[in-house]
Structure formats: structure tokens, C-alpha cells
Structure 1
Amino acid sequence: MKGNEAFAEAAIRCGCRYYFGYPITPQNELTEYMSRELHKAGGAFVQAESELAAVNMAYGGAVAGGRVLISSSSPGIALMQEGFSFLASTELPLVILNVSRGGPGVGSIQPGQADYYQATRGGGNGDYHLIVYAPSSIQEAVDMMEKAFSVADEYRNPVMILADGMLGQMMEPVILPEPLKAVDIDDISKAKPWALTGTKEARPHNVIKSLYLKPELLENNLRKLKEKYDKAKEALVEYSKSNLEDADVVFVAYGSTARIVEEAIEILEKDGIKAGLIRPVTLWPFPYAAFDEIDPETKLLISVELSQGQMIDDVKIGSKGRYPVTLSGRTGGILITPSEVAQDAKKALEVIK
């Protein structure tokens, strides 16, 4: 399946019944697929008049207890940041799919990874976090979908799947999950007792708000959110690793770029250079502990990104000053090649000799 269509089908099979979106390349196939298929599963598709409208419609769907998906690409996601801050503040679950492209501004329609700061640091106001997953294949993204919805529900927090234009547009074999039964509308108040479902059951009124006029009430709410984020840092970190034991150089890469690095490692191995890889699966929380598994004799860490260098800051935090850290990357929608990554590693190793 094409990536965008696989993402959409996986969401439907994972119980998503509400989708709000606005077309933007390179994720339009997802919106088109939802417009054709979601109603067949008893769901509701709405094409909003803008990204701002879409995120606020999603806010409304989440308030009512729905399993909601929203998707866009980089500049569209930028317009949704205020809504993400509101959703985090009011502790509402939402799954966000960002099929990222080049920027800043309108940028290009080719793949990019320059949304790392936006995803992991947040473009909205205040102390909040999105939980962020970064798949490296269409299959991993499909497998990640149910986890994203479950984590969003458990933590009552927005979850972003940060893909990129390459994953959205490429085609790969994929095994789709067995369909899950969506929560019936009459059972939402049992599954999500905090939701605004009316008080026909004679329950007390629920209140969902992000306005706290008394400073101490806002501070108490932020402390509660911090406790949740601290729990996420302990429970949700995911990463994969390879060849860290005696590596001369260790690459750090996420998403589709990690697959390019795997081939670069094979090139270096032929030249007698041992290379390892840390692939963060969660970008927030970031797997800093993975860096404690690197061989103390490793000479260099290289952050490989389709950006001018954003994840590199987290790589430096994880390295704790134990290793030199450098960047290998391309921008403008140009994919870096395995040979370029290998050459960058050789040049950097020569410099530190």
C-alpha cells in the first residue's frame, strides 16, 4: 500500500471514527482515503475550511470522547499548534499524523525532518508536551497506530506520529491489523467518564477548560501535568540499537533516514570502520539512556537528519560530553545518500585523529 493510505486504513481499523482535515501535500492521499472509507465504518469525515478549523473540530470531537485522528504536513501542523496547547492543557486525547516536508514557510513538497523542534518542543504556548513517535517504515507506522490511540487515551494527551513525505508517498508491503470494535456512542461515558456526553445518566456535570484565573489553580494543574509527563518519560521511551559494543562511530537517526544509515554502515564496514546506530522510536520522550550503552572507546557520534540539525541537540544531551558530536544531513527536500553519510563519517573521523 501507499503510505498515506495505509496510515488511514490502520486508523480506521484501530477504532478511529472521526477525522477532520484540510488538504496539503504530501499527505493528501490520507484525506482522500478517509473521505471515501471512513463513513463505511460508521465514522464521520469532515474537510474543514482551514487547518485552524480542523484542529478545533478535532478538539470538539475529543471533548465528546471520540477516537479522533487529524493529519497534515509541516506548515499545516504549524497552524494547529495553538490547538495542541489547548488539547494538552485540557487533557484530551488526539492522534496527530504529520507527514512532514521541507521548510521553513511553505518550503517544498519533498520530504524533510525539520519539524523536530516543532514536534518535540511544541510550537504552542505554555508548559506542555506532545508524545511523539517516529516510524521508519510503513509497517511500523501501521503497527504504531493502535499504540498511539491507546497512549493518547491512557495519558489523556495528544500523540503525534511524525512521518515524512517519503514514508507517505512510497509503497511497501504491509500487514494490516485486525479491526477493533469502536466504542459505541452510548458507552463513551463509561469508557471516558470525563467526556462531555450530557447528563442523561444523572451524573454530575463534567467541566473541561484551560482557563485558570487564580494563579494557584493554574500552578496545581501544571504540577499535575508534570507528574503525567514524568511518568511518560519512565514508561514510554522506545528505541532500537545495533553494533554499539565496539563501534568507531555511532550514528543517531530516526524515521526513514535511519534506513539510509543502515546501508551507510555496510559501506563503512567494507572499509574496516565499525559503525553502530541508535534509532529513537519515541522522539519525546527521547531515549537519552540509550547513549549509556555506547562503548567508551567510541570516537564520534553523528546525528543524521534531513535538516540543518535539530535532533543533534538531544544527541549532545545524551552524550553528556563523552563524545564529539557532528551532523550529517541534507535539506531542501534532497534525500541524503548512504555514500554521503559514509563519506561524512570518514571526514569527521579524520578530523579528530
Structure 2
Amino acid sequence: MAQQGKQQLRLWLTGIVLLMSCFYSPLRAAEVDSQPCLNQGEKWRLAYYQGGDYRDYYQYLRVTAEGLMEQGWLSPKTIPSQLLSARELWDWLRVNVESDYIEFLSDGFYSADWDREYRAELREQVVGRLQKAGEINLILAMGTWAGIDIAVDKHSVPTMVISVNDPRSAGLVQDDESYRHIYVPEDPQRYERQVTLFHDLIRFETLGVAFEDSFEGRSYASIETIERLAEERNFQVISCHTQSDIADQIQAEQSVIDCFNELAEQVDAIYVTVQGGINNHTTPVLVDIANQHSIPTFSQYGHDEVKLGYLMSLSQVEGFRDEGRLLSHTAGKILNGGEPASLMNVSAEADRITLNLKTAEQIGLYLDAEMLAAADQLYWQIEQP
């Protein structure tokens, strides 16, 4: 009787494990939920790949982890504010956060450190590991470099591409069946809406754009969209080439400052693009250059930079929080068997206009009642980082 009881208990425990497990076989989005589950009785093995350190990568990893905590995939724990990089956060999550479902691999954090030669070597190493069954169950590809390197058809591991400015121009939006394991969120008209709004309000004849003249740099800046709009709307684009994705941060920052000084003498307005040399160190300098020359500026990045002195932007006021919930929900669906490419991956950024009134005053720009009424958020001062 005792032996029979043990067998019944073993069968019951096996049933519970199977009940709480999800077998990864791609399902359409409507067929899956995002509830925590095991990988056939084992934890899901997560990895991460980035081109190098960038301010948003830490934020995206943080809000995704917090979303997974909210959904029960990870035990709730407050993430320390002193963590500064995605690598530090990954190590902290691996050591300090308990989970019955997910393992942050100790050897699963990869960064090319903005070194193009090392990038080629690292890409082959990571793709080779992804080709080994069971080594990695889900990988986060953070940024355009990572998306280009990891969102490929050489492996079939579910891949979430995150924090890519213009995935379509980077070649990351694929309809081919061999890319069904790739999830890429996209807002196709985001930068068209930004530049169109900027031109509607300022009516500039020459638009300055500083960007790195590389495949990735042109994608970050959405240059194809800007050039098309310039032709349609009859304004001229004045370009200045920077260095963005390089290991020498000081050099990247100085290249942007040099370009702003050059553009300020030639253009009516500047579209401030996302790149490695624009950050809390350089933004006050860039704002001073533009404002001293009475040049209206539009932040591609969003309202956080308007707070620091760029004239305006069109972005999500809520910031990363909502995106983190979406990304964690998507990760849950993928681990429940959802086919990454079939999940909802087209988003439309809320059209929320942000203006800095102090900047408008400094550059002598008159904001009429209609423009002020259209703004969703106003900053009355130029804040320091």
C-alpha cells in the first residue's frame, strides 16, 4: 500500500509539473496567454545581446524585468537605483531575484562594446550558441546592432528585438517564413509624424541633421524618411556626420558638439537625432549652441530631452513604463508558445506634443494660443541633468 501511495503521489506531482509547463511550439497570438509556466519542468534560459552601453538599454531591461515581476514570472523585488548599466542590472537580477520559471544565464550577457571588429567575432559566437538545442530559450537583442546580428535565420531561438529606432530601414522587418521566431515592435510612421509636425509649426527652409554616416547611423536618424519629406515639402536637408557607435565616448560626444557648431551657422532648424554622442553630458552644451543662434530644435528621443532645453518633441509622456508592460507580456506569450512574429508588433506612439517655453523665449519664437493649446506638456524652465 505504501508503494502504491508513492506511485500515486509521483503521478500527481508529474501531472502538476506538466500542467504548469508550456511546450514551445509556435502558436498564433490569439491561442496563448502570458501566465508563468515551466519549460517541460525546467526553467527558461534567458540571454541578452547589445552593441554596447546606451542609456535606453538599461531602462528597457529594467522595465521588462519589473513587468515580469508584476506577472509572477519573477519574485517582486525593488531594483536598486544605483545600478547604471544593463550589465550591472543583469548581474543583479541573476543573483538577487528569485524565480521558479526563469534563469538569467550567468554567461548569457553579451556586449560588443561598440567595437566593430569584436562585434563580428561575438556575433558568430552567440549565433553558434543559439544553434545548440536547449542552450538558450529566449534572447533579448537590444538595439540596432543587436537586431542586425541576432535577428537572423541561422537559428530558431525566439528573439525579442528591442530599442530600435527604425527597424524597417535596418532590414529587421521580414515577411519571410524563416523569420517567424523574431519579434520586432514597430511604429512605422513615428519619425514622419515628428518631422511633419516640426515643419508644420516652424516652416523651416533648411533642416540640420547630425548623424553617423553608417548603415546603422542612417537608420537611427531615419534619414530616408527625412529626405523623402524634404522633397515632398520643399525644404533642404543639411547633413553633418558624427561618430556614434564607437568605444571612445569622448570622441563621439565631441563629434556631435562640432556638428552643432557647424549646423548652427547654416540652418533654420535642427532635428536632434538619437545617437551615442547625445546624452546628459552633451545636451546642455548642444542646447546652448542652438539657443544662442536662435535655432529651433526638435528632439527625436522625446520629452525627457525637451525638459533639458530642446524646443519640442512628439513622444510618449509615460516613458518606459508602458513599454515594459508590453514587452514583459510579449515575453510571457512567447514562453507560452506564442509565435514571436505573429504577436502584436505594430504600435502607434501617442501624439503628445511637448514644448519648452523657456527655450522658445530664448530663441525669440512666438508661440500663439493655438500652438500652446495643442501642447500636451509644457516645461517652463530648462532643467539640468
Give yes or no for TM over 0.5.
Answer: no
The structure having more radius of gyration, on CA atoms, is: 2
Higher RCO (Cα < 8 Å, 6 or more apart): 2
TM-score, normalised relative to structure 1: 0.31
TM-score, normalised relative to structure 2: 0.29
